[in-house]
Structure 1
Amino acid sequence: MGDLPRVRITPARPFLHSGEDFAGPYQILRSKGRGCNTTKAYIAIFVCMSTKAKHLELVGDLTSEAFIGAFRRFVARRGRCAHLWSDQGRNFVGANKELVAAWADAKMKFEGHISEMLALDGTQWHFIPAYSPHMGGLWEAGVKSMKYHMKRILTCNLTYEEMTTLLCQIEACLNSRPLSPIDDSDTDNILPLTPGHFLIGEAPINVPHSDLKNIPVSHLSR
């Protein structure tokens, strides 16, 4: 096995160095009620290279514009991303070209110190070689973990708002998983380190939800 990349073992702020991938498609209801049409939607997953924290965004299609919108929402809530790794999907390559053009246009409009700051705040995009998914194992594993929960929860088509809520709950669950082995000898003081400790200082999920597995689905509300 080869050595891990430098960004995987170098301490850094969460999501300063991230990997990105898409999952889907999933069918989303256009509106509530019976007989409503569905449309395709995709999930963009961002994985922090140093803390393995995950961020999920619902995306309407696979265009570069839709991904840039998801990337802007990601940066607005998680902070600047200095380096982003992904495969060579067409939407990623197109988004990279548009972001580079946007930064170049911003540099032309401002001069002096502001121009230098904008240049430093740009995100450098890295693409793994084509047909080499094993080189993106970190975010591929994140997609697998996300789908593990999605397959056990989705029993019907959801609206855009319901799917967004579900993704936030799955994100909290993924960011509450232990990063280190738990010592079974001391069960009274178990406090595993989780990605949530790097984000908010504690695991996002501390209180378990009520157990509903023995309740018939027909007795539960949507």
Structure 2
Amino acid sequence: MGNLPRERLTPSYPFDRSGADYSGPVFVLSRKGRGAKLIKSYICLFICFTTRAIHLELVSDLSTDAYLLALKRFISRRGKPCQIFSDNGRNFVGLCNDFAQFLSSCSKDIVDYARSQNIEFSFIPPYSPHFGGLWEAGVKSCKYHLRRVVGGAHLTFEELTTVLTQIEAVLNSRPLAPLSSDPADYSPLSPGHFLIGRPLTAPVCEEDLTQEPIHRLTRYQRVEQLRQHFWTRWAKEYVSELQTRTKWRQNSAELSPDQLVLIKDSSLPPLKWQLGRVVRTINGSDGIARVADIRTSAGVLRRAYTKICPLVDNEHSWRET
């Protein structure tokens, strides 16, 4: 495995160096009520190379104008980047991929516009999709569960935009590392800190709508139910990825006192993460610790290692795992 690109390690403000990719298609209603038609749309994703913050834009079609308008909205809210990376259309030669065809036919217009805005637009090498693993992972986090949560629900353009914005907040609330070395500090560092200087907070707590039948909900409540479903599914998937997926043949990792950890809890509302500091570990009869006491803002909890996900230590360098 090669070293991380220089752009991933250069300190800068959020989205100064970004990756762009498309996801979809998704289908939206042309209007509410009878006679509404389904229109094909796409999700444009921008991801920051240094902070891994995500920005989602819903676009109506695969055209140069639609992409440039999405790029203008992105610049207006996140600032103008100095460099944007993207897939190369030739990566998908022989495959029926709308985005590949879009890039092949419109890349010159996009590059010309970027050059006029003093933005360097770079393509990854042909036939090398693993060079874009950062934005591919962001697309996977959004698309994998969005399809399972939204499913066959038909939303208008405005409603789906609202769902995507809330999904963006969920993705940008994920903890990356301890915020400080203070044993009494339970706050993690998240992409939201780089965007607004503090954690992203959820709106006024809504009632739990995950178990409510769809036919009893208004359209506004349906959008809120989709957000709650997305949080439940994505949080479980993300927390699982934090844990090492190897056979337990040897004890290769051990929790240390005052280490900041994330505790699995599927009952938490959106944008809420239960974090704490390790107080002590408890050894079993074979001398191997599988349970730990964790000090949280609500008191000391005892959890098994299967419910504990250590975050990156301050003593370790920032690198991909």
TM over 0.5: yes
Greater CA deviation, 65-74 or 92-101?
A: 92-101
| TM-score of the pair, normalised by structure 2 | 0.58
How many residue pairs get aligned? The number is: 204
1:174-189 to structure 2, matched below 5 A, reads: 174-180=171-177, 189=185
Aligned pair partner of 2:191 in 163, 177, 195: 195
Q: Given residue 11 of structure 2, which amino acid in structure 1 is its aligned partner?
A: P
CA distance in 2, matches of 1:41, 1:23: 9
Counterpart of 1:122, as a letter, is N
Distance 1:209 1:75 in 2: 32
> Which amino acid in the other structure matches residue 133 of structure 1?
P
1:83 aligns with 2:94: no
Identity %: 49
Cα deviation per residue 1:130-180 (whole Å; 9 max; x = unaligned)?
222111000000001111341243141111111111111011111111112
Measured after TM superposition, the shift of residue 25 of structure 1 is: 0.4
Partners of 2:215 and 2:79 in 1: CA distance:
42
> How far apart are residue 44 of structure 1 and its match?
0.4
Unaligned runs of 5+ in 1: 107-120
Structure 1 position 211, deviation (Å): 2.7
Corresponding residue for residue 139 of structure 2: 143
Deviation at 1:68, TM superposition (A): 1.0
CA distance 1:92–1:204, shift in 2 (3 Å): farther
**Secondary structure at 2:189 match in 1:** coil
The equivalences for 1:111-150 within 5 A come to: 122-150=118-146
CA contact (8 A) 1:68 1:95 kept: no
Report 1:210-221 matches (<5 A). 210-221=207-218
Matched AA of 1:214: Q
Cα distance change on mapping 1:99 and 1:25 into 2, 3 Å: closer
1:27 maps onto 2:27 in alignment: yes
Measure, in 1, the Cα distance between the counterparts of 2:106 and 2:218: 40
Cα distance in 2 for partners of 1:103, 1:216 equals: 47
Of Structure 1 and Structure 2, the greater helix share is in: 1
1:12 corresponds to 2:9: no
**Does the aligned pair in 2 maintain the 1:64–1:92 contact within 8 Å?**
no
Q: Which residue of 1 aligns with 2:58?
A: 58
Distance in 1, Cα, partners of 2:144 & 2:110? 33
1:106-144: CA deviation from partner (whole Å, max 9, x where unpaired): 6xxxxxxxxxxxxxx511011012222111000000001
1:47·1:53 contact (CA, 8 Å) conserved in 2?
yes
* Alignment check: 8 A CA contact 1:86 1:92 kept: no
TM-score in terms of structure 1 length: 0.82
Mapping 1:95-106, distance limit 5 Å: 95-102=106-113
Q: Note closer, same or farther for the CA distance 1:101–1:19 as it changes in structure 2 (3 Å cut).
A: closer
Q: Does 1:168 align with 2:165?
A: yes
Task: Work out the CA distance in 2 between the residues paired with 1:45 and 1:96.
Answer: 17
Structure 2 gap segments, 5+ residues each: 90-100, 220-321
